[in-house]
Amino acid sequence: MGEDRKIVEIEKIVSGGYGLARMESGKVLLVEGAYPGEKVLVKVTRDKKDFAFAKAVEIIKAHPKRKAPPCRYFGVCGGCHFMDMDYEEQLRLKKEMVMDSLKRASIDVEVEDVERSDQDLQYRSKVELTAVMHKGKVELGFKKRYSHDVVPVKGCKLASDKANRIIGFLPKLLEAFDVWVYDFRRKKGMLKHVVIRHAFSTDQVMVIFVTKTESLPQGKALAKKLASKFGWVTSIVHVMNSKDSVVLRGPYRTLYGEGVITEEYDWETYQIPPTAFFQSNYYVSKKLLDFVYSSLQLTGKERVLDLYSGIGFFSMRIALSAKKVVGVESSRISYKASLANANINQRKNTKFVNMEVEDFLKENEEKFDAVVLDPPRGGMDRQALMKLVSLHPRRIVYVSCNPPTLARDLKALKGAGYTIERVKPFDMFPQTFHVETVAVLSL
């Protein structure tokens, strides 16, 4: 056996979906593709000072709930990580991951069972594909984990049937229109990505072409052909994004249809512009919205601050039972959509501010009774969190997509006198290691 190959036993699952094992020296190994209790032959892929990353190359003793993955690209494309595991067990593993992150931050609190997704395949409301030239042909695919390599696919098990029909058809159309595919290494070309957004409640479908360049000369003709092939496509948009690090950013023009899609919940209608953030699983976001709203325990008198408010997802519901809601959002497009959504839903007691949360908190003097926080993966900036604490909101509902940064911020909030009442994970991203977690805190 080579120096970089070892047989190890997996102790537990940790953040990032890694199976944790220890080498004879005691050094921690974070193993991709291995589950607790398994005995695996691993190959070390990145050796660091205090720990190493490894990949499972052979499963010697398998977890009893392993199953054959329903997708032929599993293990090659970087999108899914737990697809070879029974769904109920995935939920249990995610609970363990959240518990592990909290324990590492010395937070001793019960973690509730993970709220399941009623649909564990075909649930994604947004699929981001990368265009690539493969053996002289245009293909669409997904990027591998930690790499710029693209794995061409003919479809995706997490995407809806309609999204898959587009994925199956588009490469031929792009070729027929002679669209110049962008080469990420040489930084030459035009079309970088195709993004498909599907609003499940209204069945509206938006196709987005993301280019490096400002122009997409074939844009209008492409859109016409695509819309005539699939009469149910409701919008086609061209996004101009010169930055390679993010997929959906930059100015856009509508090539066909309205240029927004609409998602409906029990009491709300949301208009979603092409480049704005929106929750990626309709079924689970419905449950998340109900949970966040009820956790605030509103009586009609409260002033509520909704930080990282996006297009006003939580604000609209909160406005039903609060005296006033202030949403803070840095993206201009999302901010404008939140104003439109307040109008559509007749939520007159809302106010939206187009600012970075950090700057808003520095300047803000207003007191709030309750706060909803839904930051990106990095969590809250420490200074901003302390500024927030100085406003003494009685309740904080923290929505997080990254357990380690949630744990770090909860530790700070606990230190500032808050009690963690509940920690409830939601399975927003079945088949992947990602998990959404809501923590409810009170003063």
Ligand X SMILES: C[S@@+](CC[C@H](N)C(=O)[O-])C[C@H]1O[C@@H](n2cnc3c(N)ncnc32)[C@H](O)[C@@H]1O
DSSP string, 9-60: E--EEETTTEEEEE-TTS-EEEEET--TT-EEEEEEEEE-SSEEEEEEEEEE
* Residue nearer to ligand X on the CB measure, 218 or 315: 315
Q: Segment contacting ligand X (CB under 6 A): 26-34, 57-65, 337-345, 353-361?
A: 353-361
Among 79, 141, 310, 425, binds ligand X (CB under 6 A): 310
Over the window 371 to 400, marking each residue x when it contacts ligand X by CB under 6 A and - when it does not, the resulting string is ---x-x------------------------
In this structure, what token pair is assigned to residue 295? 């956790």
CA of 59: how far to CAs of 7, 13, 43, 74, 268, in Å? Answer: 10, 16, 12, 16, 48
Over the window 211 to 250, marking each residue x when it contacts ligand X by CB under 6 A and - when it does not, the resulting string is ----------------------------------------
Q: Are strands 303-307 and 324-329 parallel, antiparallel or unpaired?
A: parallel
* Residue nearer to ligand X on the CB measure, 106 or 245: 245
The yes or no reply on residue 406 touching ligand X (CB under 6 A) is: no
Q: Segment contacting ligand X (CB under 6 A): 93-101, 144-152, 163-171, 276-284?
A: 276-284
Q: Are 372 and 307 in contact (CB under 8 A)?
A: yes
Q: How far is the CB of 142 from ligand X (least distance, A)?
A: 21
Looking at beta carbons, which residue is closest to ligand X? 310
Tell me the H-state helices in 79-151: 87-104
Three-state SS for 91?
helix
Three-state SS for 153?
coil
- Considering only residues 155 to 214 of the shown chain, the ones binding ligand X according to CB under 6 A are none
Q: How far is the CB of 215 from ligand X (least distance, A)?
A: 27
Q: Segment contacting ligand X (CB under 6 A): 11-19, 124-132, 221-229, 354-362?
A: 354-362
DSSP string, 320-332: TTSSEEEEEES-H
Three-state SS for 227?
helix
* Residue nearer to ligand X on the CB measure, 18 or 291: 291
- With tokens 């509508």, the residue in question is 254
* Residue nearer to ligand X on the CB measure, 35 or 360: 360
* Residue nearer to ligand X on the CB measure, 18 or 278: 278
Q: How far is the CB of 35 from ligand X (least distance, A)?
A: 28
Q: Please give the Cα distance from 308 to 329 (Å, whole number).
A: 5
The yes or no reply on residue 9 touching ligand X (CB under 6 A) is: no
Among 18, 182, 209, 278, binds ligand X (CB under 6 A): 278
Task: Tell me the site size for ligand X, rule CB under 6 A.
Answer: 18
Sorted by sequence, the CB contacts under 8 Å of residue 442 that are 6+ apart come out as: 394, 395, 396, 418, 419, 421
The yes or no reply on residue 313 touching ligand X (CB under 6 A) is: yes
Backbone angles phi, psi at 347, to 5 degrees: -100, 90
In this structure, what token pair is assigned to residue 157? 């098990």
Task: Check residue 435 and give left, alpha or beta (phi > 0: left; psi -120 to 50: alpha).
Answer: beta
* Residue nearer to ligand X on the CB measure, 268 or 329: 329
The yes or no reply on residue 275 touching ligand X (CB under 6 A) is: no
Among 308, 368, 398, 418, binds ligand X (CB under 6 A): 308
- CA-nearest of 354, 344, 287 to 319 is 344
Backbone angles phi, psi at 316, to 5 degrees: -60, -45
CA of 117: how far to CAs of 123, 242, 278, 364, 435, in Å? Answer: 8, 35, 17, 38, 11
Sorted by sequence, the CB contacts under 8 Å of residue 403 that are 6+ apart come out as: 15, 97, 98, 100, 101, 102, 435, 437
- Does the annotation mark 71 as catalytic? no
Q: Segment contacting ligand X (CB under 6 A): 7-15, 124-132, 176-184, 304-312?
A: 304-312
* Residue nearer to ligand X on the CB measure, 138 or 357: 357
The yes or no reply on residue 277 touching ligand X (CB under 6 A) is: yes
Among 269, 321, 330, 442, binds ligand X (CB under 6 A): 330
* Residue nearer to ligand X on the CB measure, 211 or 341: 341
Among 123, 291, 314, 426, binds ligand X (CB under 6 A): 314
**Which residues form the catalytic set?**
401
**Which residues would be at the binding site for ligand X (CB under 6 A)?**
277-279, 308-310, 313-314, 328-331, 334, 356-358, 374, 376
